[in-house]
């Protein structure tokens, strides 16, 4: 379903957004029955609370949403969405300009309304019936189409990640790119199967050759003028771990191992929907890391597009391999900025948990621009270091690089350093994301999720000098 605000002509229930410390002031201007209803139902204005007030004594029904305190909002994102998820099905209209109702600046209003749309998301592909969500009329002054476009990009990312691997293999991921390209008049080229070897993309072929679903490199182009931005997304549609087989508990979520690809496609959708004046390229190495007689092995030494050799010390460290060839190809196009996104390491989750998107860059100005845009977009990120003294950890004895250094220390950093070897001189930013919400939160149901994309989209005018 497409995320949309309700038509302005829709019949709507008035919704009052109440900060906790303003509740009593607001109530003092209300009728005694309304005051009694609020007290009886325990509504305090706490963050994410919601209350429908029925009609009485000639009054019309209204609804209340708790906006909490500043301290409560620091611990939550999308406070209004928390209330929206508790309201009954229906259409609502925020009341502004009313004494003791929370007054939101334009940026906060946009983020809270985005949260409302994100709270309406339902993954419906395999359900026969889906409960309806509360809808909202876009408040006056809101750039509703822009907010809807951000929500549509997030819906795309979530749908791709949530789809089981049986229905989201390399071919289906290619189909998703083709559909997006058709919507925005972009072009797509695909190199698959044995043709990867002819095209000098040997690492992508090596990782994906064991599957009966052919590996491929998907290459989308959009825009003909302006700065060059290349997005590279890890598209491992399912990861068994290869011959270094994952235990069952670790394999259960591996449908999300193409979360990097899903995120760059969400970001690409934002860019194209906004019509940014750039030349956009999206590269997705789409593979399935499977087990068969021709699977690549621990101890193998593989060649890359860049000419660097890689010793395989763990076949479960396959994502950096497919990204390596794609990053080399990206660098050959001499872009102004390369951004890679990947569900790459468990070490990143240990470091920052599932909610933060760690990123790497050598450019302080780029890091500052991204960090400044993250909080207003309710899209938290955290800078990690390309720590040069660890370079020796990815250099084995018999090849140029090691795909899985022993010891377990600094796993996210060494993976990022590995990727940087394949970028050359291009300006580069790498995201080691989780791509999954492990437990439901306001506007973020359990399941696939976008991370870092809104922050990046907001920062692009600075990053690319637009």
Average pLDDT over residues 125-137: 87
- Ranking 45-59, 199-213, 380-394 by mean pLDDT, the lowest is 45-59
At residue 406, the pLDDT reads 87
At residue 129, the pLDDT reads 76
At residue 7, the pLDDT reads 96
Tokens 């300009």 correspond to: 97
At residue 58, the pLDDT reads 67
**Confidence check: pLDDT of 131 > 90:** no
CB distance 46 to 66 below 8 Å: yes
pLDDT tens sequence across 27-73: 999 999 999 999 999 999 999 999 999 987 767 899 999 999 999 99
At residue 211, the pLDDT reads 98
CB distance 177 to 261 below 8 Å: no
In angstroms, rounded to a whole number, what is the distance separating the alpha carbons of residues 367 and 321? 25
In angstroms, rounded to a whole number, what is the distance separating the alpha carbons of residues 304 and 320? 11
How confident is residue 177, by pLDDT bands cut at 50, 70 and 90? very high
In angstroms, rounded to a whole number, what is the distance separating the alpha carbons of residues 49 and 32? 21
Average pLDDT over residues 333-361: 97
Name which of 348, 228, 227 is nearest 283 in CA terms.
228
At residue 345, the pLDDT reads 96
At residue 243, the pLDDT reads 98
Handedness of CA 400, 404, 405, 409 (dihedral sign): positive
In angstroms, rounded to a whole number, what is the distance separating the alpha carbons of residues 452 and 373? 10
How confident is residue 148, by pLDDT bands cut at 50, 70 and 90? very high
At residue 176, the pLDDT reads 98
Handedness of CA 327, 331, 333, 335 (dihedral sign): positive
How confident is residue 329, by pLDDT bands cut at 50, 70 and 90? very high
The residues with which 238 forms a beta bridge, in sequence order, are 288
Of the chain, the percentage scoring pLDDT greater than 70 comes to: 100
Mean pLDDT rounded to a whole number for the chain: 96
Helical H segments across 3-143, by residue range = 23-27, 32-40, 70-74, 79-84, 106-119
CB distance 322 to 285 below 8 Å: yes
**Confidence check: pLDDT of 455 > 80:** yes
pLDDT tens sequence across 151-161: 999 999 999 99
> For 325, what's the count of Cα atoms within 13 Å in the CB-facing half-sphere?
33
**Confidence check: pLDDT of 1 > 80:** no
In angstroms, rounded to a whole number, what is the distance separating the alpha carbons of residues 227 and 223? 10
CB distance 261 to 170 below 8 Å: no
**Confidence check: pLDDT of 241 > 80:** yes
- Ranking 51-55, 356-360, 455-459 by mean pLDDT, the lowest is 51-55
**Residue-wise DSSP of 17-34:** EEEGGGHHHHHTTS-HHH
- DSSP category for residue 97: S
Please list the active-site residues. Answer: 246, 320
**Confidence check: pLDDT of 332 > 70:** yes
In angstroms, rounded to a whole number, what is the distance separating the alpha carbons of residues 392 and 386? 13
């Amino acid at each position: 379903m497409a995320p949309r605000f309700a038509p302005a002509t829709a019949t709507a229930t008035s919704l009052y957004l109440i900060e906790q410390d303003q509740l009593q002031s607001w109530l003092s201007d209300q009728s005694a029955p309304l005051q009694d209803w609020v007290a009886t139902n325990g509504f305090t204005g706490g963050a994410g609370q919601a209350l429908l007030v029925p009609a009485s004594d000639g009054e019309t029904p209204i609804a209340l949403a708790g906006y909490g305190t500043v301290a409560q909002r620091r611990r939550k994102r999308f406070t209004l969405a928390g209330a929206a998820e508790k309201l009954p099905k229906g259409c609502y209209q925020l009341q502004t300009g009313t004494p003791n109702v929370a007054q939101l600046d334009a940026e906060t209003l946009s983020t809270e309304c985005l949260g409302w749309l994100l709270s309406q998301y339902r993954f419906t592909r395999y359900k026969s019936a889906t409960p309806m969500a509360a809808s909202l009329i876009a408040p006056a002054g809101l750039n509703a189409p822009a907010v809807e476009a951000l929500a549509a990009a997030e819906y795309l990312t979530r749908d791709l990640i949530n789809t089981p691997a049986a229905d989201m293999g390399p071919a289906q991921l290619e189909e998703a790119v083709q559909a997006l390209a058709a919507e925005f008049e972009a072009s797509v080229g695909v190199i698959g199967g044995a043709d990867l070897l002819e095209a000098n993309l040997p690492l992508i072929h090596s990782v994906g050759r064991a599957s009966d679903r052919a590996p491929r490199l998907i290459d989308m182009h959009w825009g003909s003028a302006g700065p060059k931005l290349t997005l590279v997304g890890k598209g491992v549609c399912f990861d068994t771990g290869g011959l270094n087989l994952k235990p069952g508990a670790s394999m259960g979520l591996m449908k999300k191992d193409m979360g990097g690809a899903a995120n760059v496609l969400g970001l690409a959708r934002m860019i194209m929907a906004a019509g940014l004046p750039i030349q956009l390229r999206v590269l997705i190495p789409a593979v399935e890391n499977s087990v068969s007689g021709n699977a690549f092995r621990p101890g193998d030494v593989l060649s890359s597009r860049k000419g660097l050799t890689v010793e395989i010390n763990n076949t479960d460290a396959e994502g950096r391999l497919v990204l390596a060839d794609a990053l080399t190809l990206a660098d050959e196009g001499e872009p102004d900025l390369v951004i890679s996104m990947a569900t790459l390491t468990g070490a990143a989750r240990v470091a920052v948990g599932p909610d933060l998107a760690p990123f790497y860059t050598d450019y302080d100005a780029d890091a500052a621009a991204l960090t400044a845009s993250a909080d207003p977009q309710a899209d938290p990120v955290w800078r990690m270091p390309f720590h040069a003294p660890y370079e020796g950890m990815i250099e084995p004895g018999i090849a140029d690089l090691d795909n899985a250094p022993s010891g377990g220390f600094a796993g996210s950093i060494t993976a990022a350093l590995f990727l940087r070897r394949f970028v050359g001189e291009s300006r580069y930013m790498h995201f080691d994301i989780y791509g999954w919400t492990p437990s439901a939160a306001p506007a973020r149901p359990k399941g696939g999720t976008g991370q870092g994309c809104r922050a990046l989209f907001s920062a692009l005018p600075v990053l690319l000098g637009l």
